[in-house]
Homo-oligomer: A and B are copies of this chain.
Amino acid sequence: MTDLTAHRGTGIFYRCLSPDPLLPAMAPTPIPPDPAAPVFADTQTLLPVIAQDDQTGEVLMLAYMNREAYEETLRTGQAVYYSRSREALWRKGDTSGHVQRVRAILLDCDRDTILLRVEQVGAGACHEGYRSCFFRQVTPEGLRVVAERVYDPNITYGPG
Contact = CB atoms under 8 A, between A and B. Distances in A.
Given A107-B134, A128-B109, A137-B104, A50 B36 contact: no
Interface in A125-159: 126-128, 130, 133-139, 142-143, 146
B127 A109 contact: yes
Given A115-B134, A126-B109, A62 B50 contact: yes
A131 B138 CA distance: 26
How many copies of this chain?
2
Of the four ranges (under 10, 10 to 19, 20 to 34, 35 or more), the interface on chain A belongs to 35 or more
Given A50-B59, A59-B52, A36 B143 contact: yes
Given A109-B133, A133-B108, A143-B35, A59 B59 contact: yes
A83 interface: no
Interface string A79-113: 00000000000000000000000001111111001
A9 interface: no
A98 to B, nearest CB: 14
